[in-house]
Structure 1
Amino acid sequence: MNPQAPQDPQENRMTATNTGEQTPGGRDRPPAPDTMRRALTSDLIRLGRIDSHRGGGISPAAVARGYETAWRIADQWLPLARQRRRATSGSKADRERWDALIKAAARPAQPVGRPSFFGLVELAWSVRDLLRTLRDTEPPCVPVAQVAARIAEAIEDGHYPTGASLSPARIAADRNLPVGSVKLALTDLAERKVVELSATGRARITWPGPTDRPQQIADTLRELIAAGAYPPGAQLPVRPVLARNLVCSRPPISAAIRLLIDDGTLICYPGQRPRVRTGHPHTGTKAIVYARAFAQLPDLGGPVDLSDTRIREVVRVTQSWWKARLSPHPATLDHYFAQLVGIARHLMTRAGVSEPCRAAHGDRHQPQGRQKRPEAQVHLDSVIARVTVGATSAAQAAPEHRLWRTACFAAAVHDLLKLTEATGGNATRAS
């Protein structure tokens, strides 16, 4: 569609916007950024007048003039758009964006059909999109390829851990980048298998590859066995409890248990829960190591709200980050981790365990053949071991694993809170 119609006097007063200045040699030179933005804004206002009638009482001649005005505006800016398109090396998504914008706003080579007001509205919106994108990508705008590189660097540094689900707006706010550029960069990163994009545009971090969750869980269970949480011959908790303790679903729990049965850490008889192999050489050998490492962890160093309501809130927030695969700022995660450490120490004192290192030492050297310790004490020792392992493992974990480790630590703190509540502060009292 390429209607030609004479301009009215008002149209004649709307002179074409210059996108460059003439040098003495007659060549164009780019205008100053402020001049370019003002020119783009002025043409955006002109485009707004074209379809302002919204279909009411506009004549075919006025529609034809509107088409011509929109195309004249587009013609002035298409050379700059093509220049921006040529500068998109390294970003397939950015190149495709400019291709689509240029195609939608360009004057067609052959007239097509009869001019209509609705077609004019669509053309005006296409030209607006072109001009807005030109304005948004004016220097010092960061190229999309560089935006993708910055996001990939943040992922590599562990700022966004593997498995985290992030919105483009969150990344844009974190890195001080335009949301539109972030969306295009995420599309490029999805092509490179660094992220996965959901239907809603959220990005799930997959680089450097899918997490081997069963192996991670198996390693954690080995740590708990070494810390004495599950002594020789003890049965593991049922799978729903393990899933709650390790903040994961049941299938990877089952896969992790199979790994531990295969390597001889666990034994399992038909119809029974898996249990730690009697005589396992590593059971309880690192209890004192974990306890001492926990004692050396720093906490907030100031007052901590130790009300049960606040404790549950800290646990809930920490676990919700992992369950939703969100990525809190590292400083925020550090703050909540320090709160959990302070809370755990307070709950240990409330439970009558003022020095977990001494408790672990005494438990390890308990004489053989003595009367079995009360079940409540065994349960408390298991939870204390989970607390010390969870805290020290989270403190030492790689950035991509720290969120999950902190969620496991929070689960242990929550169980310790429930123990102290159920026994009125004396968790060693028989239930």
Structure 2
Amino acid sequence: MEASVPSVNPSLPPPNRGGAEQAREAPLWRNRAFVGLLSGNTASVFGDSFNGIALSLWVLQTTGSAQRMAAVQIVTMAVGFLFGSFAGTLADRVDRRKLMLISDLSRCLIAALLGVCLFAASAPFPVVLLLVASSMFAGLTMGPAFHATTTRIVGQERIQQASSVIHLTDNLARISGLALAGVIVASFGGLAAILTTSATFLVSAVCTLLAGPFPSAPREGAGKLSFLQDWSGGFAYIRRDPLVRSIVVLSPVLAAFFLTAIMLVQVMAINSWRANPVEFGLIEMCIPLGYMMGAGLLLAFGKRFARRGRLVFFGLILLGPMYFLISRLESPHVALPFVLLGGLLFSFCSMMVQIILKSEVKNEWQGRIYGTLGAITSVAPTLVLAAASLLADRWGASAVLGTLSAILLAVAVAAACLLKPIRTYK
């Protein structure tokens, strides 16, 4: 099915698919621009893991304050929500390659300054919050620019393959980054971890430079529109296209329920199952491993998957009963295969939605769509997580997970009925 997207500006022609055709027809590993950007994104995700671990440890070890830890999370969430859609608009108006370079180099400098403030200058906490907010702000354009650019440089025929590779490398970088961050912090201290973060952003910028020039989405007549007109046009695009609107509704809901369920499983592992460190580590490993398995299946089978819209809801509907079953278990060993299956099902749901989005949205609009989606997703999971954690402290994680799974099943069935543009997507 090809979604019909009513344009806010009727003068805009269909996106020009000429240029860099040889790169699009070549296998992904021979596409210089894609390999360069993928390498940079992997380095950036790897560095973010170091930054998160080092910052969390500094706050908890230095202040011992849960309120200050919450303040860091609230600041990052607020910046993402308030400025995410503006960042996406910027990614559709300016050269995306330059935008990614500015983002990486800015975060490189901010990370180095943050390391000095945390571990050398003993800066006041408000200064730390300002730097954290600045780093978050500088990184907002990276996601929309990266996803929109990779969609354009690989071509329509390889969107599913490219998306699977991106998700695979993203999870590998996240897993290895979290594992090595703990080792480096323990061996060399938090400053080394922060400086490693700074270095990875620099590596990401170098990879973007080595990727060489790549085409931007043509936007004839765009100069006649102001920034605010482009920004409001992104919201109008979402409102008027039923498929895009359905995805913008479904994606944050899916992320909120899945991340909350995972948090409750982790609490159950410690409080109910009395898992030892090895067992807890295996549970933690199963989540991204299942996600990577799903990405691998999508990469291997490609377009042989038919009725991709139905696959989204098939996975989503199964998640509810599966987490209800986990809530009734009493052993971490028995839970392992179900936690793995949860990651697999979630990967099918989330990645398939992303593939549909990249396939059907004109490239000249993708920055705004991803920016808006990122803004909503930065808030929804956090709010649901906060509510679930409060209820888990009062009634127990297993009871809350059981209730959450029932709500998830009801939401999945309702979404399958109401979000017809996704359900009928081929």
Shorter-chain TM-score: what band?
A: under 0.3
Larger Rg: 1
More helix by share: 2
* RCO comparison, higher one (Cα < 8 Å, 6+): 2
